[in-house]
Amino acid sequence: MLTEIALFVVGIALLVAGAQRAVTAAADLALYYGVSKLFVGVTVISVGTSVPEMTTSLYAASYGAGDLVVGNIVGSETAQITLAIGIVALVSPIVAERRNVMIYGGAMVLSMVIMILTLEDGELIRSEGFLMMLSYVFFVYTLYTNEGGEEVTEEVVGSEPPGRSVPWIVAGLALVVLGGHLMVTNGVAVAERVGVSEYLIGLLTGLGTTLPEIVVASIAARGGYQGISVGSLLGSNITDPVFSLGVGPLFFDVTVTDTAAVSASTTYMLAVSLVVLGLFYWRRGVGRRAAVLCLLLYVPSVVAV
């Protein structure tokens, strides 16, 4: 079993490392060829930063691990809205414009509501997956017309020479494919060996795929980078509930067996998201005191399952 656990961890590491390299290189390449930062922010980066969740959704759906599919998305969502924001705000308080909170926060809540409604019967079919992804396309269009997303590009894109972009994209995607396979197959095996639910494994996987975003944002905050925005912190929380989750059932029907756990954790996910968004709007950001509250809000999401 130790081998399976090790391969599970290696899979997560390869998945997130490959996604990060591929997204950064793709954004560099798009900017090099004259694509606007605005468009790159709302397309390449918004979708690309959720590649780990999308890959997990597709792989887990193909293996018939529906609980793992949903658990990964819920775990990622909850970790980002609590742990990620809490840790970043502890390093450097986050200042937010109320307009951005309304745009990104409203879209995030709507995405979560769509996700919860589609999971009510414990099954996701192809038509639902298609409609979920279509709703995300509508969000991208709305964001683009409201001139959002440029600040997200500035925070994500590195300084890689364009000549190296294509090899990094290919290498990154190869790591994503390999990492996703190792993570899902060994995650299911560990769940069977230990006797825990696939849904709990999914929740913990969601935390794992969120860790790189936490580290990158924290380093930027420590370095005094003032560009960390609500868009970069909440962007993937809009993508995951509809686009990332919709990828799996678009190709394979997804069935959830632990419906009680899903109902409880998705309700908590939505409730805690509203609390954090309330802090952002009311206090125009999240300071260090509110950051501690965000960190504490994560604990029940795992303990209760």
CA dist 216 to 69, 86, 113, 222, 284, Å? 25, 14, 29, 10, 23
Cα(293)–Cα(305) distance, integer angstroms: 21
Residues in contact with 158: Cβ distance below 8 Å, sequence separation at least 6, in sequence order: 24, 28
105 closest CA partner among 133, 157, 153, 143: 143
Beta-ladder partners of 254: 124
The CATH number of the domain covering residues in 2-303: 1.20.1420.30
pLDDT digits (tens, 9 = 90+) for 111-139: 999 999 999 888 888 888 898 888 888 87
Phi, psi of 124 (to 5 degrees): -120, 125
Digitized pLDDT (tens) for each residue of the chain, 305 residues in all: 778 778 877 877 777 777 677 767 776 777 676 666 556 655 666 666 677 778 878 878 888 888 888 988 998 889 888 988 888 888 777 777 787 788 888 888 999 999 999 998 888 888 888 988 888 888 777 766 665 555 555 555 555 556 677 777 778 778 777 876 777 677 767 766 777 777 888 887 777 777 666 665 666 566 555 445 566 667 778 888 888 888 888 888 888 888 888 899 999 999 999 999 988 888 777 888 888 998 999 988 877 56
- What b/e readout covers 78-98, taking b as 16+ CB neighbours within 10 angstroms? bbbbbbbbbbbbbbbbbebee
* Residues 246 and 113 sit within 8 Å (Cβ to Cβ): no
* Residues 132 and 243 sit within 8 Å (Cβ to Cβ): yes
44 closest CA partner among 125, 120, 157, 139: 157
Q: What is the pTM of this model?
A: 0.80
Cα(83)–Cα(89) distance, integer angstroms: 10
Tokens matching residue 88: 């970043």
